[in-house]
Structure 1
Amino acid sequence: MVKKRKTAGSIPSSASDILSSAISISTTSRKLKSTLQTLIHTIPMTSPLISSLPSALNLSISESLDSFKSSHTASDPDASIHLRRLRIYAHISRFCILHPHKCFEPCEIFPSVRLLHDGLLLYQEDSDLMSAVASLCEDWWKEDFPGREDLMPLALPYLLSKSLTNGKKTDVHRVFALREAFCLFDFEDESIQDLKLLLIRCLITPLYLKTDEGKLFIVFLLGLDEQLLREGLALMKSQIVFENKSVLDAYSVVLFRVWKGLDVDDGKGAVMREVIEDGFLQEMIDWAVHERSNSLAMSIRKVLRGFLDQRTTKGVDKLLFRLAQPVLIRSLQVTNSSVRLNALHLLIDMFPLEDPDVTRDAKESLMLKQFFLIDKLLVDDCPIIRAVSVEGTCRILNIFWEIIPPPTVTRMLTTIFKDISRDTSSQVRLSVINGLIFLLGNPHAHEILKRLLPILGFLFLDRVLSVRTAFAELLLTVKDLRAFQYNKIVDLDDLLSSLANEHPSIARKITRLLMSTYFPSQKTISEACNRCIVLIKRSPVAGARFCEFVLLEGSSLKSVTELFGTILKILISAKNLSSEQVDGLFAACTNICTTLCSESSSRRTSVELIFQGKYKSLLSVAASVRSQTSLLNMASVVSPKTVTEFREQCLINLTMKCRGLSENQDLQEGIRTAHKLVFSCGWLNDFLGSIKSILEIAASKFQINRNLPSLRKKTNNKSKLQKKRPNKLGTSTIVDGLLISDVSTFEDDYSLVSAISWQLYDLLISEDTTRKNAILNSISLPMFSALKISSELCIEQHLNAHDISPILAYCSISLNMFRHMAEIADLADSTDVSCKHELPFDKAILSNTLSHLIGCINKVFVEKDSAVGRNPGSNLNQTEKSGRRQRSKCNNPVAEESTAGITSTIQTNNFLKMVATILKFMVEAMTTAGVSERSYLQFAAACTHRVISVLKENENNKFPFNEESSIIIKSLFTYASKLLNLFLSSMDNLLNVPPEVSCLANSLFDLIASFDVYTTKSKHALLTSSVIKEWLPDLVLGVCTEYLTNHHQHNQHPTFSSRPLWLTMLSKVGLHEATIDDGNSSTVMAESDATVLKTIMNMVITLLNKGSQEILGAVIKCFVSHLKIGVERNDCNFVLGLVHFMCVKLLNDNRKVESANDVLKELYLIIETIICRGGNDDDDDERRVYKYLKMSNDILKHVITSNDFS
């Protein structure tokens, strides 16, 4: 056993034994390299193997290479064996040259290494062998052994390629360590073109651009050869357009280091510097100045940043002056604002431009010229240039304050503070503040800025949020400087006012600003709390907002919790507190509660302990809506389950103390808070039960007053009811269990119903699905019927009922109930389980609701039309209508209540809001359930005509047109257009579209024209025209749908009385243009001032020319149908005007409308027949008719006989 161990551990006696042993090891050992290293490094210096192993190794490598070359393919088994042996021989060669005792002579190993290197390209199938040979050559180079130059031609490209593909820092490090070997290559030799491509790839490889050794290697290779430098610079330039910041930063560093590393005394170095300076840098400066894209110009400047940041280096200042000074001085004064802006950026980066070799006077002269240009740019016409000039000026003053003459400093600051700070551009004002924040970094500027900054106090109240935010940041910067006092820049009252009303981001900055005064951490907690209380009492709203951010701005949890307890004690005592202070203290408590309880349950527990037992005391103090809202908020945040004593007060607030809710935002906030508490505490059933009773009682009172059947059960014996004596309870009367107030009026009852309806609507539009479903599951049919009655009353009494919340709630319940029932049905179908909760509503709830609302509105339309002596196609006869009006007067005393103090504008706006709400509901119903009836189109058209009547009243000063009216009309137009769009989209065949579609489309076009006819305030009209463009395709298609079929009977045209208003106005526009040279056209010109219609028609022309020729042909057929009527009526003005518009405007650039050619010819022949009959030449009117008809036919003839129609 001992002998065997010795034999196994002994060194082979001959070189052939070593090589054979190494080959056998490769097939059994996983740690081949470490085993071979041990085997070679244990050979002593005195061993005969030192002299015999190199020759044997050389022979074995030569034999293996020859055998491998003779193999048919590299994938043959024999080839794999030879590659494995070569890999072992490469490892042995490497361990020989790295022997710790340097036993082997490099010159004896070199032939083996040379053979392995020369065969490197043959080892493509064995990456391990290639890596081993490359490592061998790399170690040979590092050891500086003889012949190392012969081992680089193949090893170096391999290592370089590996670093470009593997993406490892170690590979970049290996290439950088061998960088001197690249000097061996002749870069003018075409045979190394592949190597040059690999080197150029380094300039776009992220690993080389991100690592220091990678950038140093790029610097080295660009300095190797002039042609390589040119190609590298060209590649850099091509990469700038991609605007990769890290790449551009790397290029700036590389470019400067290459320039700096070149030896100007060497001829080659001087030439390469010239390539960089007069070639690349000059081109970059020109490009940076003249580039149109601001982002690309900024990227170019980043490449130049390497030189701009190293201006202290010898020669850089002179270089920049020589390259940039002529370009910048000229470009700063050109008319192109983009060029001026780019040149300004460069001037600021390069300031001061100076030649270090000239005299001091020359330098000062050039400096004054630059200041003159900057002063000029401070008042430039372009706002962006002014903004950049301000920030650039402040940057220059900050850096060069000591060397700039005081008069120049004074002049610049005066311009900034007195003029530019009040610039009309918010971007410029923002730049003033940002520049001054930068300037505050120079202590030398503090003395003058201390006197000037108060001038800018008005910017704290600027109308633009970004400006106010920046100024708050300026105040925080000033606060940290001992020489300044921020309250001398902005008055404390202004600070508190902003804190109370500002955006949260600014309010938080103001809180940080005031912390050291009103909640200082250096003082005791008691003192800090007292100061905060003083702030709340001084400005309740601001103090409450201060408490919202005090914890977020670094105050300790202990101090804020103590502040919460202190405020509660003050509230409970309620001594010497005004109502505003009480509101502020409650709001402060709520804000602190929300902040403390939002992050930690332990914080919530501590707050709850402080709050517990104080509910009733606080409730007695909370007299206002705001205080009660804050208290409810606190209760819901701290512990909702412990506030049962709020239940009664909460329900009273929700049901009885909520009148005027739709117009009282404070009350709305309180109601929403109460809703949260209702849901969190499980009071929903009680709440819904209360509002159900109120709605039903109110609806029954409404019906009794209108002499309609009540919701409540009544006796069938009317005589008994009349004889029954009522029971009196205070000021109320009970009849058959129905509570009727003796003193309540319609306004009182309706106001309460409206408030409850608003709550239902607000809950149903919430994004909280759980709450919404809970409401829908609890709504009963009697409650829905009560809302139905209230909505009907709202419509009937639209002159008195100015809150449309009942209609909103009625529509919202219908829509959401339909969706809810559909979801329940889908769930039941998917799970095959019957629904436990059956809802008592019909599936046709949407169509039934719409039919009811349309009927109610139509009644109002009929009454209004009857009042002015016209009836738009109603089926009701005059006897029925007069009977209804009589019943309304006799049986509905509400209608006779005074409307004094309510203007016609408010009444009309209220009615239009009702109509717009119903149209919106109609659109949502069609979108949700696909319900559609022709009566919807009729209703929308009737509503549109009603709006036109309103505008006509505006012309007669009966209805003063205001901003709210415009918004309502715009909304109504949008919903009517959307309705038209839905009908057209639902039609499978446009040839069967009902005529109501065309009627609605014409009505909407009439509405557009009515703005020109009946309104004088163009700003209101423009509010509507901004939304018209979206619906123009639907309007055009709707107008011409009945003319799309070739079977349309053109002889059956509409009557003269049905001519749309918009066609009449359009003909006046065309008539004015056709008779512009006529002496009698002055009146026409006055009538044709149709600004809105002309704008819209230009859009229509563009749309038709880009769209289908079939649609354009249908529009022409529509025009021709109305023109025939005009010809029959001898309305020559209409005929000439519309023909001129149709042929000159509409067909001017698009004449290939073959489908309309026949109707144009027909119209031409009709007019020609009339002209041929002749007339009385002595009659001026008849002579004008024939003249205009002749002009019309001339226009038609030109179109018909054009080549496009031939």
Structure 2
Amino acid sequence: MIKAQIPFGRKSMLEAYGEIVFKGWKGVEGELKREIEDGFLMGLVEGAIHARSKGLGSSIRRVLGGFINQRTVDGVEKLLFRLAEPVIFRSLQVANSNVRQNALHLLLDLFPFEDPDATKEAKDTLLDRQFFLLERLIMDDCPDVRVIAVEGCFRILHLFWEVIPPPTITKMITKIFDEMAFDACHEVRLSTLNGIIYLLGNPQSHEILKVLLPRLGHLMLDNVLSVRVAMVDLLLLLKDIRTFQFNKVIGLEVLLHKLASDQSPVAQKIVRLLMPSYFPARLDVEEACDRCVTLMKRSPLAGARFCEFALSEGASPKSMMELVKVFISLLLSNAKLEEPVVEGLLVASANLCRSLANERNQQDALKELFSNESVKRLLAVASTAHARSTVFDMLSTTASDDVAGLLGDCMSLITDCSDLSENLEKQAEVRSAHKLLISCDAFDNMFEALTRLLQKTAYRCHIKFDTEAPKQNVSPAKRKKSKSSSKTSVKWKHVGGKKSSNFKDDYSVAIGVSWQIKAMLSSEDARKAMMASQALELPFLALKVISEASIVQCEYYEYMDPYPVLAYTALALRMAVQNATTESGTKKDDRINSSGLISKAMLDQVLDHLLDCTDKLFEAGDSEKNGKSLQKSKQDNSKSATRLGQKRREPQIDASSSNTDGSAYTKQKQTSKKVKMFTTVLKFVIDSIAMGFASRNHTRCLRFTSSYVQYIISCLRQLSKDKSPLKEEKSKECFMCVKSSFSYAFKLLNLVHNAATEASPAPVESFYLANDLLDLIISGELFLGSTYAAQHVAAAKPWLPDLILALGSTSMHEQSIERPYLTALDHIKLHFPSWPLILAKIELAEMSEHDDLEEDDRVSEPEFTEFKKLMGNIISLLKGNRSILDAVGVIFLATSVVGLERKDFGLLLGLLNFICLKLIGQEDREWRGLDMMLVSLPDMYPRIEREIEEQDEEDESHDRLTNARALLEPVWFYHVYETQRFSEVE
């Protein structure tokens, strides 16, 4: 009963079982005692060593613990030695790392492992053998074994330091410090630090550790967070041990650097470490503040971070309030401070204000610090965008009333945003300005100003590109009165950004506004304010117009940017989510409701609109492929208008279609821009379907994604022919978009198939998309190499079940077994993919020596290695489900028949070799359970025989057809003569 419970028992229950067995063993004699020892306990020892998992091995050792914990009882240690000695040392040296790991765990539990009746010399020899094996296991090939060995060594040193010979201690601990602390596996490095922390609990180890600990300094710069956290934990422990000085292990400069730059778990612990030095509680507040100022001047970034965690690490709110006052006074004084120190003091003050804002007793004192005059002087001191954003953060956190004079400056900053999308410093400043305006109840004014800028650009798009006219502003009487009217006396009418002289300038401002809308949607306070706005419909409709121009015209104008589309889609989704959450969408489905929210049907219209725009962009690209150059289309306006849509004006290239440096809009830049646009739309497609808002657009979404994947393939082909060098930054950005789109496409297949039912199966477009994705993989490997293709294969691996389902989707929902083959044949003929050609060539290359192949069939060894790996994974998955194998196998057979019809006998032979030998396997010559695949044989096998008769025997085509027939003969003859499924007449 106990054996049966071990794999499932709780820790306490397993320990209780161990006590029960021990009491039973102790209370019996003779045959029963031997049965417990040589039967049950011996089985436990062997099971602990050969356990198939870590959990099972641990559970078995817990039961054995009933004896190991009673080693002082007479006869127990002798029993344990007799049971374990024959197997444990051998198991520590076997090839199986799992067995070595289990045996090491058991040895550490039994240490020191000895025969109590042996002589002292024999015991010492056995102990030396154990230390030798431990030193060997420290250097084991398996990282898991090294981790346990390192921790085990420190445990042994902690418990048995007094009885271990000093040379053995020195040898073991030096090896760990010099080698394990530099191990390639971060878990080994972490176990080294944890072991040292444990060993410090034995005071006798301190003398040698004083010498060795400085060798660990590099771990403070480790690239793994958990290792750095453990290193600071070690320093914190050393701080509390009088005989150690932590700064001799890690220098102060390194600590300050990590405090300034590292993640919060590390930075906060470093603050705890440095608090007694830079803000000691034992000193009066004035001296403590002076020390903190010294830190700020030495390392402004580290000092600012110190202030971020000082309150949570034990400093009193009152002392932190005094520190803020000291910092503000220093900033407002005439002292000549360097720019980094000024910025550091501002950031530190903002961090302290943020911490103190939650302290009720300090809120009034904080407000008093920021009078109108002091705010102006602080802004005058803040010379950088980051510094100004910090001032805004302080003011928004403290909710000061004396900020009316700043609001106009904030509005100017927000509306003068033409370079915002690429200026990281200004982005931080604008976010802070948003917070300040929201804290002052001035959001409506800000949102109105941003809306006017968008409407202006939308109107310019309407004039320039004949897009939909933007909706006019609502009457002021219908809009709620702004809450900010009581707080602000500044006039806003002058605010609206710089006056622009051309469309490009207006459009660049719209990009900045779009960035801001997207940023505000990511902030909880700004998002709530935006969703509550009475004028939410206006920026949404303006973004719709700008997004259409951005997508359709990116073929011709380099300055067109995805940000308006990103803002438009993000806003649409948020409005739909808000509508679903509040259940306020009671108006008609095709309109935005009175609260500015949109219904599910309205979001479908947004998706349709974006897909219409991408259709136009695809058409524009097709027109260029067909030889219609831009200059000719300008001359032949009427024909172009007919092809691209009567309402759309022909784009006019002007000076704004060039870069600021006058360079031309190259093909590479154009491709990169279009890929970004398509990726943005595809992301919206996935988000809409995943959130349940795009219920009726699956077919169109699949078609768009297929078109996009085909566009990428054509770009890869063109890229391989293009002799001009790739711009590194642009190409990386473009390839990242392609990689993201590849994952999005698989996600789309997953969503479509999850939504499919027997009554409403997945559309056939999912089959086409699956083929396009496989074509993209082979195109990437063909044109850009296996390194590039490896990224696609890695991205595809988690989605392979969805890819397989999509490949078999045309066959799975047919009512009869005869229909899937004919359906698959129709679809393959209509949309013949490229990947089967490559798969067939790979198979032919494996079947024959390269010298025997025609030039067209040669496949060099490194070529398509990633595609081979992918197909290997697909084979493994298909063999796990016979019915899906049958559905997908029909596709391979239908493709083979197309090869037969086209007289491409290499395609026929290669695919049949793949089907018969790899997909199904030679052992299954009857194709058991593959009824849909068997339906194809009466059509295929006789055709092959007829083709053989028509070919010259010395021709290569004859050989390939003969080999193809030989592959099918076993299954054909079996069903002719054994099952009579096929007749000889067929």
Q: In which range does the TM-score fall when normalised by the shorter chain?
A: 0.7 to 0.9
Aligned-partner Cα distance in 2 for 1:1171–1:417: 73
Residue 738 of structure 2 aligns with an amino acid whose one-letter code is I
**Residues 442-480 of structure 1: per-residue CA shift (max 9 Å, x gap):** 333222211211111111111222211111111111112
How big is the shift at 1:550?
1.5
Amino acid at match of 1:1036: L
The 5 Å alignment of 1:192-207 reads none
Q: Greater CA deviation, 250-259 or 775-784?
A: 250-259
Structure 1's unaligned 5+ residue stretches are 1-234, 263-267, 714-736
Alignment check: 8 A CA contact 1:944 1:1007 kept: yes
CA drift of 1:415 comes to 0.7
Q: Quick one: distance in 1 between partners of 2:35 and 2:919?
A: 61
**1-side partners of 2:91 and 2:554: how far apart?**
71
After TM superposition, the structure 1 = structure 2 runs for residues 694-733 of structure 1, keeping only pairs within 5 Å, are 694-704=453-463
For residues 639 and 633 of structure 1, the distance between their equivalents in structure 2, rounded to whole angstroms, comes to 10
1:1153 Cα deviation (Å)? 3.7
Quick one: structure 1 residues 557 and 1054, their matched pair in 2 at CA, closer, same or farther if it must change by over 3 Å?
closer
Aligned to 1:1192: 964
In the other structure, the counterpart of 1:778 is: 535
Could you tell me how far apart the structure 2 residues matched to 1:1015 and 1:522 are? 66
Q: SS state of the match for residue 695, structure 1?
A: helix
1:1029 aligns to what?
800
- Given that 1:421 and 1:432 are in contact with CA atoms closer than 8 Å, whether structure 2 keeps it comes out as yes
Larger Rg: 1
| Equivalent pair of 1:571/1:621 in contact (CA under 8 Å) | yes
Label 1:283 to 1:771 Cα distance change in 2 as closer, same or farther (>3 A).
Answer: same
Identity of aligned residues (%): 36
Question: Are 1:591 and 2:351 counterparts?
Answer: yes
Matched, 1:1005 2:765: no
Distance 1:257 1:522, change over 3 A: farther
SS in 2 for 1:1059: coil
Alignment counterpart, residue 520 of structure 2, candidates 731, 744, 763: 763
3-state SS of the aligned residue for 2:162? coil
User: Does residue 1:1172 correspond to 2:949, yes or no?
Assistant: yes
Which residue number corresponds to residue 558 of structure 2?
800
Identify if the C-alpha distance between structure 1 residues 690 and 829 changes in structure 2 by more than 3 Å, giving closer, same or farther.
Answer: closer
Q: Give the match's secondary structure for 1:484.
A: coil
| Letter in structure 2 aligned against 1:946 | Y
How far residue 382 of structure 1 moved from its aligned partner, in angstroms, is 2.3
**1:1190 maps to amino acid:** T
Counterpart in the other structure of 2:684: 921
Cα pair distance change 1:242/1:612, threshold 3 Å: farther
Q: Does 1:674 align with 2:433?
A: yes
In structure 1, C-alpha distance between the alignment counterparts of 2:496 and 2:91, rounded to whole Å: 86
Query: CA-to-partner distance for each residue in 1:171-208, whole Å, 9 max, x for gaps?
Result: xxxxxxxxxxxxxxxxxxxxxxxxxxxxxxxxxxxxxx
1:935-950 correspondence to structure 2 within 5 Å: 935-950=700-715
Equivalent pairs, count: 930
Deviation at 1:529? 0.8
In the TM superposition, what whole-angstrom CA distance separates every residue of 1:473-508 from its partner, at most 9, and x where no partner exists? 111111122322211211212111111222222212
Does 2:672 match 1:895? no
Q: Which of 882, 905, 908 does residue 1132 from structure 1 map onto?
A: 905
The aligned amino acid for 2:940 is L
| Preserved contact between residue 297 and residue 342 of structure 1 (Cα < 8 Å) | yes
Q: How does 1:453-852 map to 2 (within 5 A)?
A: 453-573=213-333, 575-598=335-358, 600-611=359-370, 614-639=374-399, 643-656=403-416, 658-704=417-463, 748-764=505-521, 771=528, 774=531, 777-781=534-538, 784-785=541-542, 787-789=544-546, 791-793=548-550, 795-797=552-554, 800-801=558-559, 803-820=561-578, 828=586, 837=594, 839=596, 845-852=602-609
For the 8 Å contact 2:49–2:102, the answer to whether it is kept is yes
Q: Does the 8 Å CA contact 1:757/1:806 hold for their aligned counterparts?
A: yes
Q: CA deviation at 1:517?
A: 1.3
Residue 383 (structure 1) aligned to one of 140, 143, 150? 143
In structure 1, distance between residues paired with 2:694 and 2:533: 18
- Alignment partner for residue 1162 of structure 1, among 933, 939, 942? 939
Report the alpha carbon displacement of residue 711 of structure 1 after superposing the two structures with TM: 5.7
Maintained 8 Å contact 1:974/1:1027: no
Answer whether contact 1:694 1:753 (CA < 8 A) is retained. yes
Letter in 2 for 1:1035: A
Which residue identity is paired with 1:1003? D
What amino acid is the match of 1:681?
C
**Judging changes above 3 Å, is the alpha-carbon distance between structure 1 residues 747 and 1171 closer, same or farther for their aligned structure 2 residues?**
same
> Which of 203, 212, 232 matches 1:443?
203
1:1094 alignment partner in structure 2: 868
Structure 1 CA distance, aligned partners of 2:813 and 2:85? 72
Cα distance in 2 between the residues matched to 1:901 and 1:429: 53
Code of the residue aligned with 1:454 in structure 2: it is P
Query: 2:842 corresponds to which residue?
Result: 1069
Deviations 1:740-769 (A, max 9, x none): 978756654333211210221233355669
Deviates more, 1:564-573 or 1:858-867: 858-867
Deviations 1:141-165 (A, max 9, x none): xxxxxxxxxxxxxxxxxxxxxxxxx
Q: Determine if contact 1:763/1:772 at 8 Å carries over to the other structure.
A: no
Q: How does 1:256-295 map to 2 (within 5 A)?
A: 284-295=44-55
What is the distance in 2 between the residues matched to 1:740 and 1:667?
15
**Paired residue secondary structure (1:523):** coil
- Of 168, 175, 186, 1:408 maps to 168
Letter in 2 for 1:678: L
How many Å separate the matches in 2 of 1:987 and 1:793? 34
Contact 2:551 2:614 (C-alpha < 8 Å) held by counterparts = no
With over 3 angstroms needed to count, the CA separation of the structure-2 counterparts of 1:823 and 1:253, relative to structure 1, is closer
Counterpart of 1:931 in structure 2: which amino acid? R
Report if the CA contact (8 A) 2:551-2:617 is conserved: no
Secondary structure of the residue aligned to 2:741 is: helix
Structure 1 stretch 271-280 or stretch 848-857: which is displaced more?
271-280
Closer/same/farther in 2, CA of residues 558 and 313 from structure 1, 3 Å limit? farther
Q: How does 1:156-305 map onto structure 2 within 5 Å? A: 240-249=6-15, 284-303=44-63, 305=65
> How big is the shift at 1:771?
0.9
Label 1:892 to 1:1170 Cα distance change in 2 as closer, same or farther (>3 A).
same
SS of structure 2 residue aligned to 1:778: coil
Partner of 2:486: none
Cross-structure match for 1:860: 617
Distance 1:848 1:306 in 2: 70
Q: 1:642 to 1:312 in 2, by over 3 A?
A: farther
Measured after TM superposition, the shift of residue 1007 of structure 1 is 1.9
Residues 428 and 636 of structure 1: CA distance in aligned 2, closer, same or farther (over 3 Å) = same
Amino acid at match of 2:535: S
- Kindly provide the CA deviation profile for residues 1186-1206 of structure 1, in whole angstroms up to 9, marking residues without a partner as x: 332333334344433333655
| Distance change >3 Å, CA 368–CA 816, structure 1 → 2 | closer
Structure 1 pair 1002/537, CA: closer, same or farther in 2 (3 Å)?
A: same
C-alpha distance in 2, partners of 1:1071/1:1087?
A: 12
Distance in structure 2 (CA, Å) of the matches to 1:1002 and 1:238 = 50
Could you tell me how far apart the structure 2 residues matched to 1:1028 and 1:553 are?
46
AA partner of residue 102 (structure 2)? N
Aligned residue in 1 for 2:626: 869
Deviation of 1:775 (Å): 5.5
Q: CA deviation at 1:548?
A: 1.6
After superposition, where does 1:1102-1113 map in structure 2 within 5 Å? 1102=876, 1107=881, 1109=883
Q: Which TM-score applies when normalising by structure 1?
A: 0.69
The one-letter code sitting in structure 1 at the alignment partner of 2:446 is F
Counterpart AA for 2:697: S
Distance 2:16 2:104 in 1: 24
Deviations 1:692-732 (A, max 9, x none): 1212223344555558897699xxxxxxxxxxxxxxxxxxx
Moved more, 348-357 or 1060-1069: 348-357
CA contact (8 A) 2:232 2:266 kept: yes
Partner amino acid, structure 2, of 1:755: G
Report the 3-state secondary structure (helix = DSSP H, G, I; strand = E; otherwise coil) of the residue aligned with 1:1201.
helix
Distance between the aligned counterparts of 2:936 and 2:73, measured in 1? 85
Q: Distance in 2 between matches of 1:1097 and 1:421?
A: 41
Tell me: CA distance 1:973–1:1038, structure 2 relative to 1, closer, same or farther (3 Å): farther
1:364–1:1191 Cα change, 3 Å:
closer
Distance 1:497 1:1123, change over 3 A: same
